[in-house]
Amino acid sequence: MKCRVCGKTARIKLHSHHTAFCREHFLQFFYRRIERTIKKFRMFRRDELVLVAVSGGKDSLALWHALMELGYKVKGFFINLHIKPGSGESEEYVRRFAEKFGADLTVVDVKDYLGFSIPEAVKVVRKPACAVCGMVKRYIMNRHALQIGATAIATGHQLDDAAATLLGNILHWQEGHLGRFYPVLEEEDGFARKVKPLTFTGEYETLAYAHFVGIEYYPKKCRFAHGATSQVYKHILNELEMEMPGTKLWFVEGFFRTAREKFRAEEPAAPREKCVFCGYPTTRREMIDGEEKPVCSFCALKRRLQKHEGE
């Protein structure tokens, strides 16, 4: 098997692209795909500060490393969620990465913001763990991004994640989610821009990149991910990909090219107010001392946990 570019012995075969590369030309391919995605969707410029949300896994660490190699101004951001096992080990991998590659890293503790760990919060509110965790992480990341003047928050969601999300939204015809399904969520007052530069980069490619450039990463999935419907959708898509290489890429690219505009909401979004506790923009309201006031989901969760603790 020969490299498509130089004819040397290939180190990796990409079935989805019907091609193979040596190490050097795979890295070029990997960087070019991320660069094209950033430019196509106008995610950020080189003079803008980007906060990279890192988990210790291969995808977010690969993104962080690639953006540094491409010359972007990036800072890594890790939240210790106190999920055991996992959070402590993931933090170690993130810190080792920062030390090895000379990367700028900030580590924060979820308890410093919420007062409780994610497992403690999930136990009290009895809601799906991923929903609680996702809301808390988004809140903390956004607050930090605004504090340091970051233009965008980049996450390591890659093609496999995007295809699974899209499949789930289509199967349930969640039109609102389909209208918002996009690699960029533009900034608004009180919200930093959210971007996904790996949207067209497959999980196998991030795994290969991590191997080629020497990234050590936490190999296990979060314990709350077991049984998640997204894993079912990924399994189905992997079966399709085995039979028809390129299916995931065609699926996601095709939606953006031909279908997304049909689902975009035409009615104006609900007006946002500032949370009375933290100032975070929100459409949510609840009764406080006999009066209905704006309270964001994060502060509502925090108040509920504090009330439970005091009972």
The pLDDT assigned to 225 comes to 77
The full set of domains in the chain, from first to last, is: 23-266 (3.40.50.620), 269-311 (no CATH)
Q: What is the pLDDT of residues 265-283, one digit of tens each?
A: 655 667 899 999 999 999 9
Q: Comparing 298 with 176, which gets the higher pLDDT?
A: 298
Q: Is the pLDDT of residue 311 over 70?
A: no
Most confident among 122-126, 184-188, 192-196 (mean pLDDT): 192-196
Task: Give the global pTM.
Answer: 0.93
Under the banding of pLDDT at 50, 70 and 90, the label for residue 218 is: very high
Under the banding of pLDDT at 50, 70 and 90, the label for residue 155 is: very high
Q: Output the average pLDDT for the chain.
A: 94
**Residue 86 in contact with residue 79, Cβ under 8 Å?**
no
Share of the chain above pLDDT 70, in %: 97
Q: Comparing 311 with 64, which gets the higher pLDDT?
A: 64
Q: What is the mean pLDDT of residues 205-224?
A: 94
Share of the chain above pLDDT 90, in %: 85
> Is the alpha carbon torsion for 180, 185, 186, 187 positive or negative?
positive
Helices (H), the chain: 23-40, 58-69, 87-101, 110-114, 118-125, 129-148, 159-171, 175-180, 203-213, 229-243, 247-254, 260-263, 297-310
